[in-house]
């Protein structure tokens, strides 16, 4: 390709709306242009790199036997009603109604579409397992799109879906995807951190995210420097720690009776620390949550018999459309709502309203406590108590809690003596400084998710009535896996990792062209030599672009560095018959013969591709 035949749309200054390096450089290098808020168009150079990312993903999907499909981007709303997500996906899902009043969805994800496709084709266990994928456009109506294609409204994803007769089959495919993802990111030149993750709105159990470190990352990663443990904060767990008293010693059991203390206007943990002249580790925070579509059996829980429980008419499963739970956690810790939602098998949890808190506990926010609290299940974090029903063990002792009266707190509260939980669980948010099970201290990083793999189970196949006949001719429901990679986000992440003050420094695998030839002037002998190098490199399978523009040399050099071609060959009068050879990521250039520049370019490009692919 010659530059005069394509569109070179470089900018010298960072656009005002671009904050992060990838957004700035994609605009400045002429890869990308904004059409609307969260809506972007790829220009020719950007599209070449985009397609390379896409093709690497496709090659690795094909290598593990995944079958590529091409569903429509617009799907019938009735499929989302079948799955139950029409009501739960929220305002991020763009809905439409066509001229015949049919409800439609602009796909934010494709579980429903693929489940419907397989439902219509699946009849026998002999067809399983089936692994499908697409590389297709998605739309999520982000309330605040930002950071260019890192968080746009329209984007491209590779998402794959597998269907299985057994859990063992799902596990095997899940492991294949885990290996394939590592290969994909290595080939893209990306340093990823695989972390344990929460499945969130997708549902399911097993889940792993592939993250890249980013100062503007949406996720906080908890990492162990010793054993390599890695998880996002939605999933991270830590070793138990011993709560201390003000003197710094482990808390000890008290025989003192509970004492009511008047605490007018003293609500927060910080206020209580000052009022009682002690530490936050001696307080039990008691927080009431409202829970939606809870599938955990609460029939034996306090107040459980009074809860409205619905039986799914098709699959016979029970759930509570709405219920409330009380969480007790040590005063210096925070509740992890993702863990809580997972524990309760709930669609969503949220803090109860002031009205509900007073109705259920008899006290306003800041004065709620577990002592004497009835008709609502109490869940103790492991920082307060451990154990199972009928066999609980107190971790905290001689504690302070809310008194369930306005402006009253209690002291000398003994968990187990003065109140009992319905259950104990890990609902704590782990932070840097907490202790790993190996004994090391966690640290944290900000990160962005590039890929995510889930074991979905039967969440969609059950709700959408997918069945097959087993060896005995009996209908069974297949189990599912789901595996996604954001193509645009991966491309932006490559730039985030591979750039410098001059511009992008592409890995060879995703550069728009491998080599740029820059004649100082495209005329006379410089033109002849530049054309020879151009043709020889093309003959040897090297993607090469020739800067034949009538521009000043400085403009050409700056553009080549900004766009980030891995190799630059400069043809100038001063060096002829030799030329200047430079690798983008190295400081120094070399003067060499034309033949050596050609052979060195070929060797460098092929060796780099081989290194990334192995």
* Sign of the CA dihedral running 453, 454, 460, 462: positive
Tokens of residue 233, six digits: 């904060």
The b/e string for 497-506 (b: 16+ C-beta within 10 A; e otherwise) is bbbeeebbbb
pLDDT higher than 70, residue 571: yes
pLDDT higher than 90, residue 311: no
pLDDT higher than 90, residue 32: yes
pLDDT of residue 40: 96
pLDDT of residue 143: 85
Within 8 A by CB and 6+ apart from 274, the residues are none
pLDDT of residue 25: 97
Pairing of strands 515-519, 567-571: parallel
What is the pLDDT averaged over residues 56-80? Answer: 96
Q: 44-63 and 487-497 are packed helices; what angle lies between their axes, rounded to 10 degrees?
A: 110
Assign 90 to helix, strand or coil: helix
The model's pLDDT over 222-271, given as tens digits with 9 standing for 90+, comes to: 999 999 899 988 889 999 999 999 999 999 999 999 999 999 989 899 99
Q: What is the mean pLDDT of the chain?
A: 93
The model's pLDDT over 81-118, given as tens digits with 9 standing for 90+, comes to: 998 888 877 788 999 999 999 999 999 999 999 999 99
pLDDT of residue 542: 97
Question: For residue 137, how many C-alpha atoms fall within 13 Å in the half-sphere facing its CB?
Answer: 12
Pairing of strands 219-223, 443-457: antiparallel
pLDDT of residue 196: 77
DSSP string, 51-78: HHHHHHHHHHHHHTT-EE----SEEEHH
Closest CA to 57 of 149, 152, 160: 160
pLDDT higher than 50, residue 600: yes
pLDDT of residue 207: 83
Q: What angle do CA 241, 332, 292 make, to 5 degrees?
A: 100
Helices and strands in the chain: count of H runs, count of E runs: 14, 34
pLDDT of residue 301: 93
**Distances from the Cα of 370 to the Cα of 97, 358, 421, angstroms:** 49, 14, 9
Tokens of residue 461, six digits: 């196949």
What is the pLDDT averaged over residues 574-596? Answer: 95
The model's pLDDT over 404-463, given as tens digits with 9 standing for 90+, comes to: 999 999 999 999 999 999 999 999 999 999 999 999 999 999 999 999 999 999 989 998
pLDDT of residue 363: 94
Cβ pair 443, 230 in contact under 8 A: no
The model's pLDDT over 170-218, given as tens digits with 9 standing for 90+, comes to: 999 999 999 999 999 999 999 999 987 654 443 445 688 999 988 888 8
Cα 255 to chain centroid distance, Å, stands at 48
Q: Which carries the bigger pLDDT value, residue 39 or residue 86? A: 39
Within 8 A by CB and 6+ apart from 566, the residues are 505, 506, 507, 508, 511, 514, 515, 583, 584, 585, 604, 605, 608
Cβ pair 201, 209 in contact under 8 A: no
Nearest-angstrom CA–CA distance, 469 and 474: 5
Within 8 A by CB and 6+ apart from 47, the residues are none
Determine if the peptide bond prior to 400 is cis (ω within 30°): no
pLDDT of residue 202: 39
The model's pLDDT over 114-149, given as tens digits with 9 standing for 90+, comes to: 999 999 999 999 999 999 999 999 999 988 898 999
Within 8 A by CB and 6+ apart from 550, the residues are 522
The model's pLDDT over 338-380, given as tens digits with 9 standing for 90+, comes to: 999 989 988 889 999 999 999 999 999 999 999 999 999 999 9
pLDDT of residue 315: 52
Tokens of residue 262, six digits: 């008047």
Within 8 A by CB and 6+ apart from 516, the residues are 544, 545, 546, 547, 560, 563, 565, 567, 568, 569
pLDDT of residue 142: 87
What is the pLDDT averaged over residues 525-536? Answer: 96
Query: Domains along the chain?
Result: 34-236+445-495 (3.30.930.10), 259-425 (3.90.960.10), 504-613 (3.40.50.800)
Nearest-angstrom CA–CA distance, 105 and 219: 28
Cα 133 to chain centroid distance, Å, stands at 19
Q: What is the phi/psi pair of residue 121, to 5°?
A: -110, -20
Cα 540 to chain centroid distance, Å, stands at 40
Nearest-angstrom CA–CA distance, 39 and 156: 12
**Global confidence as pTM:** 0.84
Nearest-angstrom CA–CA distance, 434 and 333: 11
pLDDT higher than 70, residue 327: yes
Q: Categorize the per-residue pLDDT at 314 as very low, low, confident or very high, splitting at 50, 70 and 90.
A: low
């Amino acid at each position: 390709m010659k530059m005069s035949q394509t569109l070179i749309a470089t900018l010298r200054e960072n656009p005002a709306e671009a904050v992060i390096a990838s957004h700035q450089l994609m605009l400045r290098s002429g890869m990308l242009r904004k059409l609307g808020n969260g809506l972007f168009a790829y220009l020719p150079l950007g599209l070449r790199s985009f397609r390379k990312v896409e093709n690497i993903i496709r090659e690795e999907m094909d290598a593990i036997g995944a079958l590529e499909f091409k569903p429509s981007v617009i799907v019938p709303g009735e499929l989302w009603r079948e799955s139950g997500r029409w009501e739960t996906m929220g305002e991020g899902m763009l809905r439409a109604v066509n001229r015949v009043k049919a409800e439609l969805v602009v796909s934010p994800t494709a579980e429903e579409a693929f489940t419907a496709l397989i439902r219509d084709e699946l009849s026998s266990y002999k067809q399983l397992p089936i692994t499908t994928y697409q590389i297709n456009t998605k739309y999520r109506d982000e309330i605040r799109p930002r950071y260019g294609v890192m968080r746009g409204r329209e984007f491209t994803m590779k998402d794959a879906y597998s269907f299985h007769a057994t859990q063992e089959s799902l596990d095997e495919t899940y492991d294949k995807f885990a290996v394939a993802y590592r290969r994909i990111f290595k080939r893209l030149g990306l340093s990823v951190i695989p972390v344990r993750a929460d499945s969130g709105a997708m549902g399911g159990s097993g889940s792993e995210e592939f993250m890249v470190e980013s100062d503007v990352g949406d996720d906080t990663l908890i990492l162990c420097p010793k054993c390599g443990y890695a998880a996002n904060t939605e999933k991270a767990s830590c070793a138990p720690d011993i709560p201390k008293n003000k003197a710094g010693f482990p808390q000890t059991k008290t025989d003192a009776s509970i004492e009511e203390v008047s605490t007018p206007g003293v609500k927060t943990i910080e206020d209580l620390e000052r009022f009682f002249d002690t530490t936050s580790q001696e307080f039990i925070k008691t927080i009431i949550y409202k829970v939606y579509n809870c599938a955990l059996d609460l029939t034996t829980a306090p107040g459980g018999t009074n809860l409205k429980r619905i039986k799914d008419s098709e699959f016979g499963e029970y759930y509570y459309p709405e219920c409330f739970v009380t969480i007790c956690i040590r005063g210096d810790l925070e509740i992890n709502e993702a863990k809580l939602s997972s524990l309760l098998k709930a669609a969503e949890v949220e803090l109860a309203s002031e009205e509900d808190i007073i109705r259920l506990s008899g006290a306003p926010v800041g004065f709620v406590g577990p002592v004497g609290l009835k008709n609502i299940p109490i869940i103790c974090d492991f920082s307060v108590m451990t154990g199972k029903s009928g066999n609980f063990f107190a971790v905290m002792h001689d504690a302070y809690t809310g008194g369930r009266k306005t402006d009253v707190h209690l002291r000398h509260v003994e968990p187990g003596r003065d109140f009992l939980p319905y259950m104990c669980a890990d609902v704590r948010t782990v932070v840097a400084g907490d202790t790993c099970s190996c004994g090391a201290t966690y640290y944290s990083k900000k990160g962005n998710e590039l890929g995510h793999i889930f074991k979905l189970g039967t969440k969609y196949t059950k709700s959408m009535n997918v069945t097959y006949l087993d060896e005995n001719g009996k209908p069974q429901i297949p189990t599912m896996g789901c595996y996604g990679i954001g193509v645009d986000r991966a491309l932006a992440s490559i730039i985030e990792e591979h750039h410098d003050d001059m511009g992008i420094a592409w890995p060879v695998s995703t550069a728009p062209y491998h080599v740029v030839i820059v004649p100082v002037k495209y005329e006379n002998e410089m033109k002849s030599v530049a054309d020879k190098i151009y043709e020889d490199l093309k003959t040897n399978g090297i993607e090469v672009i020739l800067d034949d523009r009538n521009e000043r040399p400085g403009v050409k050099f700056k553009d080549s560095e900004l766009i980030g071609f891995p190799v630059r060959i400069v043809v100038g009068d001063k060096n002829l018959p030799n030329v200047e050879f430079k690798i983008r990521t190295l400081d120094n250039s070399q003067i060499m013969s034309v033949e050596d520049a050609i052979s060195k370019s070929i060797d460098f490009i092929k060796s780099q591709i081989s290194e990334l692919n192995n």
